A and B are shown apart, each in its own frame.
Chain A
Amino acid sequence: MDDASVQTLLREGIAAAKLAQQNPAPAAGNPREQAQELLLRVIELDQENVSAWLWLSTVVSTSEERRICLENVLLLDPQNKHALAGLARLKPRAPAAEPAPAPPSPQPARSKYTRLKPQATPPPSSPKRSAPAQQKSPVQGRHAGLACPFCGNAISAVDKRCEHCQLPLVMVCPACKAAVDVEQKSCPDCGQKMGNYQKPLPYFAQLGVAYQAGTLYPEALTAWQAVETLQPDYPHLQLRLGEVQLGLGRPDRAWASLQQALEQEPESAAVYFALGELARQRGERHEAFEHYQVAAQLDPQHGQAWFRLGQIYQQARKPQEATQAFRRAAKLMPAETTELAQIQAQLEHLNPGLPESMATSGAELFRQMAGPMSLFILAALMDAGLRPWWIPVTGWLALFLAFIGAFLYVSGTDLPRNPLMQALAGERGLTSDEAKLGLALGGAALWLLAMLLILLPIGQSYPELPGL
């Protein structure tokens, strides 16, 4: 190819790069990728083309790639102001790497963009990827020397997926969402660990899990599809694919995957939960309820299933059942999660608690204690032939115990901040659930004891049977 062709390619590449800068999210086509392709072709033909490296730095995906391009510019033109300014704007390199913009030294390529050597004349296109490519037979094609790190077959510098093994060549950082070459063990932007691509199965599976946790469903689908390519019977793969399709809002595909998952794992709570999610997404509340119920039965520790059950009960206007399900879910959910906050909000909505004026009211304390006390007073009176002065010592003791029991029970249940409890335990009253339960049980036990004292026939004579 002659110089004119190189210049033509360069012009087209620069035009595409400008277009990519003006319109980063085009409706059709991708000028960024076009620019990358054109400029890389220029560099293949003329590795010392400063303009190509400079413009390439504007369309690469990661800052590490940008750094390589700009360092190459400086190597060719140490006074280039644009490159100096661009490198200055980039974040400092990670501690293991060399500081910018110091003259680059030969090192293993960390990107698909080749770092130029400071001296000598490098080959037109040095191998961009590592060992597997070198072990394979000579790579054919216009990017001779570029090889898939998984299968070793030839790939283009702009490929994001190997055409031969169908595995992705570029993944997304689960933390900062920057594009990261599969050969990079950590994200050059944020330092997030990406895993070891040389063990592709756990590599993609771990990324798939991380993407799902971050609700990056398109990326998760890519990762799980890679796992499927590598090992179609990978454990829980169909469940994962179903979950991801659900996240992507593709219920039909999710259903197909989940049916396969159900055949493989008929006793899996996670599969039933996912089926519940699918039914919920389709608006089939009854089916969703049944699936969540099975999930909760199979795994009573499945907090999400209890959470969904609570939501369905709440929609069905069954506040009691909703409260029970939400309380169960709250115990099982990890702390400081969005779901836990939602559950607590729902519980607060279902059980708003007493207004401040009632919770700290002496009149309310009296009202609640008066009921049980009426029972014990009347029982003691009946025991004494309706004569208060006949009430024995045990009867008075029983009334005292009943009074204490009533106070403890009321304080442990509805009024933990009653005035008397505030005086005893401080302004916040009783706060610990265990203490409240203990008081309520203690109060009930005192009631039983008091009733026993009244009912025991102490000092009473046995009546004569009536004559026939």
Chain B
Amino acid sequence: MTIIIFLYLLLQFVFLLPIKDQRSRRLGFPWATAGLVVLNTLIHAGVLFLASRQAGAAEPETPWWYIIYPYMEVPRDILDGEGLGALAVLTSGFLHGDWGHLLGNMFILWFFGRKVEDATGPIRFSLLYLLCVYTSALLSVVARAGLSPAEAAIPGLGASGAIFGIMAAYLFLYSDQRILTLITPIPWVFWIPAWVYIVHQLLANALLGELIQEDVAVTTVNVFAHLGGAGGGLLFIYFFLHPEIFAQRR
């Protein structure tokens, strides 16, 4: 356990911010990636607008996110067949807690999504993204419901599960790429292998998940959704690839 804690703290200490990779894009404008970024942003702005209009009407103690509660992923409700079911899983993937949450997610989606969209085309990319929303919710629901009834009642939201799926798909496709990365606390940029960046992200989540399971750590980050999304992206990207890629390799 001490080793896990040490590794986790070490990974948390090193923050990686991707800046660019070496691969030039093959296709034209990434319509699906851009569309998802715009959709997520519009939904967040719309939710905040609605929340601001309801602020005066609701009880003073009512948190703003109450208006979106039915649209968030609550493991208990999903397993009990209550609420909006699959719709709630889908909507939770397009909701964000605040602008920082949205900005971070959209930055990573734009960075990796365009390159993955190159290999799939916009329609298949959109389907893969939705599939990763569901695989992230699958692991999140199962793992959190297994932790405790209290954890199972906590609603989850955010696109990060699906975005981890896209990152994992990128790893599957371009593991030999190098990414120019800002590494803190060193105020400098380095070209690091893509797999180092992505494995760093996955490992940090996996270690945190283990610490949560052991009741050592508490976090608002839904690490199980991240891992579920990444697993979905890694497992299913093969089925969404454009056949031209296979034709070229023959």
- Chain A residues with CB under 8 Å of chain B are 319-321, 352-355, 357-358, 364, 367-368, 370-372, 374-375, 378-380, 382-387, 390, 409, 414-415, 444, 454-457, 460-463, 465-466, 468
Contact = CB atoms under 8 A, between A and B. Distances in A.
B112 interface: no
Given A319-B26, A371-B131, A385 B243 contact: no
B66 A371 contact: no
Nearest to A457: B84
Contact of B243 (A354, A379, A384, A462): A354
Given A367-B239, A370-B239, A371-B239, A460 B26 contact: no
Given A382-B85, A385-B81, A466 B153 contact: yes
27 contacts: A319-B26, A352-B247, A354-B247, A357-B250, A358-B247, A368-B239, A371-B128, A371-B240, A374-B236, A378-B131, A378-B134, A378-B138, A379-B130, A382-B89, A384-B85, A385-B79, A386-B79, A454-B86, A455-B86, A455-B87, A456-B87, A457-B84, A457-B85, A461-B83, A462-B83, A465-B66, A468-B63
Contact of B142 (A321, A357, A386, A444): A386
A409 B124 CA distance: 11
A374 B128 CA distance: 10
A457 B87 contact: yes
Contacts of B239: 367-368, 370-371, 374
Interface of B: 26-28, 61-63, 66, 69-70, 74, 77-87, 89-90, 123-124, 127-128, 130-131, 134-135, 137-138, 141-142, 153, 236, 238-240, 242-244, 246-247, 250
B69 A465 contact: yes
Given A371-B239, A455-B90, A382 B134 contact: yes
Nearest to B118: A320
Nearest to A357: B250
Q: Which of A355, A368, A382 has the most CB of B within 10 A?
A: A382
A372 to B, nearest CB: 5
A375 B127 contact: yes
A461 B82 contact: yes
B141 A386 contact: yes
A309 to B, nearest CB: 14
Contact of B70 (A352, A367, A375, A462): A462
Contacts of B127: 371-372, 375
Contacts of A353: 247
B123 A444 contact: yes
Contact of A384 (B81, B87, B131, B135): B81
A379 B82 contact: no
Contacts, number: 111
Contacts of A357: 250
A409 B82 CA distance: 33
A444 B246 CA distance: 24
A414 B243 contact: yes
A460 B85 contact: yes
Given A385-B80, A457-B84, A320 B26 contact: yes
Contacts of A382: 78, 85-86, 89, 134, 137-138, 141
B117 to A, nearest CB: 12
Closest 3 CB pairs of A and B: A371-B239, A383-B86, A383-B85
Contacts of A414: 242-243
Given A320-B28, A367-B239, A379-B86, A463 B138 contact: no
A463 B82 contact: yes
A294 B134 CA distance: 48
Contacts of A383: 85-87
B242 to A, nearest CB: 8
Nearest to B124: A371
Nearest to A364: B243
A152 B47 CA distance: 90
A350 to B, nearest CB: 11
Contacts of A462: 70, 82-83
A382 B80 CA distance: 11
Contacts of B134: 375, 378-379, 382
Nearest to A461: B82
Contact of A355 (B66, B85, B131, B247): B247
B138 to A, nearest CB: 7
Nearest to B134: A378
Contacts of B242: 414
A460 B243 contact: no
B48 to A, nearest CB: 20
A380 B89 CA distance: 11
B81 A460 contact: yes
A435 B21 CA distance: 40
